Chains A and B, each alone.
Chain A
Amino acid sequence: MNWFVWRQHRKQFLVFGILLAVFAALLIPTGNHYWHLYQQALVNCAQHPAVYSCSDLSDTLFTAPSDGLIRIGEVLGTFGLPLLVGLFIGSPLLAKEYEEGTNKLAWTQSVSRRKWLTTKLAWALGFALLYGIAVTLLATWWSRTINTVALNRFVQGHFETQGLMPVAYSVFFTAVGFMMSAWFRKTLLALAITFGVFVLCMASFANWVRPHYMTPVTVTAPMGPNDLEGKIPTNGAWVLSRNIVDKNGKAIGDIFPSAPSQCQQIIQQAEVPGSHGHAFKAAPSPNGGDPIDDCLNKAGFHQIAKYQPAYRYWDFQRIEAGIYLGATAVAVAATYLLVLKRDA
């Protein structure tokens, strides 16, 4: 059975080998290049602190016109290769057999349908696993420069392209491809639906699911220019929200209508005639602060921010990869049911 799966699908496996080589050919030289630039920039800023700032290296790196393109290539490749494995290993391995009726040939040899499916799944998922590992090793290694200067690794485009995620995607989308193939028995339809699942996952996880894996850390500060920022760690935390809230804790979009009347008066006095928004020109309050902030603070207004600290990154990776691997198990179970219980 193993020989046969290999003989049937060796071309697909070979094509993916080539794709991986192309991906490596893009990432290895550019990854080295950026790491080298970063090292150089570190030396420069240490030698010329007046000219270069060591705390804000991202402005001095990635400035060549090609940098954006290379970064896009890296992201697309890291997203795309696991998806492609799902599409072109997951779907055709099963759906094509149904489409061409060869499942009836295979299922009437002296091999049980269960063993036949298990062997196919093992090859596909095993291949997807190895592939995901290769992709993530390359991409994670490549991202070390960006991780060091851009810090936040939770957001879309960073989280999905590193660590456990490319592996989880590879395996998951392959299992989805199998399940859809067993369900619909049409290669193109299975491809399209697998792609749909991918789009859905990418659109939903980063914004709606991922922020809730762990209770975010909440920090509050009185009204004022810099108090809140000082309390949010700058070393790669994922800031989920920054808000001004009233004394009941309700988030406020526009301050003026919700402010008490005495504060509204101060705001109105402070507004420069003819201009919109706040141009604060009121006299300083006795304690030296902004009179509007003082008034709002007295009325119970304050600032609030929620963030996921940087040290939770690997917890988040484990949780999200766990979700996908759990879903993989469900898809595999569904595939078995669909293949074994339904008629040929």
Chain B
Amino acid sequence: MDARVATAFAPMADSTATIAPHRLTHLERLEAESIQIMREVVAECERPVMLYSIGKDSAVMLHLAAKAFYPSKPPFPLLHVDTTWKFRAMYEMRERMARELGFELLVHQNPEALARGINPFDHGSALHTDIWKTEGLKQALDQYGFDAAFGGGRRDEEKSRAKERVLSFRTPEHRWDPKNQRPELWRLYNTRKRPGESFRAFPISNWTELDIWQYIYLQNIPIVPLYFAAERPVVERDGTLIMVDDDRFPLREGETPQLKSVRFRTLGCYPLTGAIESTASTLPQIIQEMLLTTTSERQGRVIDHDQSASMEKKKQEGYF
């Protein structure tokens, strides 16, 4: 038994484990389903990996993985496809979680992107994302020979994801063919594949943003502090508040970072992630703000703005 697993997630009150057995709540049903999916993939695939983005969905995924295989450690490594442009607080969180949970942590940085110094300021968000993330992910999956990769994608995030399967079949070139996905009935997942083919597995497909927050709250799951409001140095660009997280940030003429009470609804590369002005510094306050707010979650992500079907295009190219 691994004591580290237990200490990292010492839940204050684990309602999902002890609630009256006669009536499962929606979160209990979702949790059980996610765990069932994780176990199924681990039992049937040869070399699974969990993609770790360090965000709140990833935090829930780690927690579910710890539950699914306890008292064993989750029998797969974590893979962080790094762009070198994440928030510093995210790197700190990554190291802490890997240490406390005893996961094997793999970090991949696309060597080509590193050599060319790809960054969102000089190359634009689309190229930056494509080379660091899309290409980087393919490289890492090929390099380690993973045949199944767990991701934290949810069907409520974006319209084209509503039709994504729990197990998303990918060709040896990592392409996703919307016409050639396998039907998923009951709790039965078909994981059979030929050498080179792989799956992306989305155990939290049926969770919504509210479910994620509520679960984090109930299970006391550690998340990056950036989700909570604090005074942070930001500049406003094209109507979006961008945090100046390190000295690589090229300030424009006359631009001075302002200290504002902000927080982030999603986390990614800091130059591409919009902050919102907020004073919500506790989980209930965050949830309150989210429920009363009128813009959807992904609006904070700059990459989605191009056109309404852009996520779908990225997915066909192999982006998660």
Bind each other: no
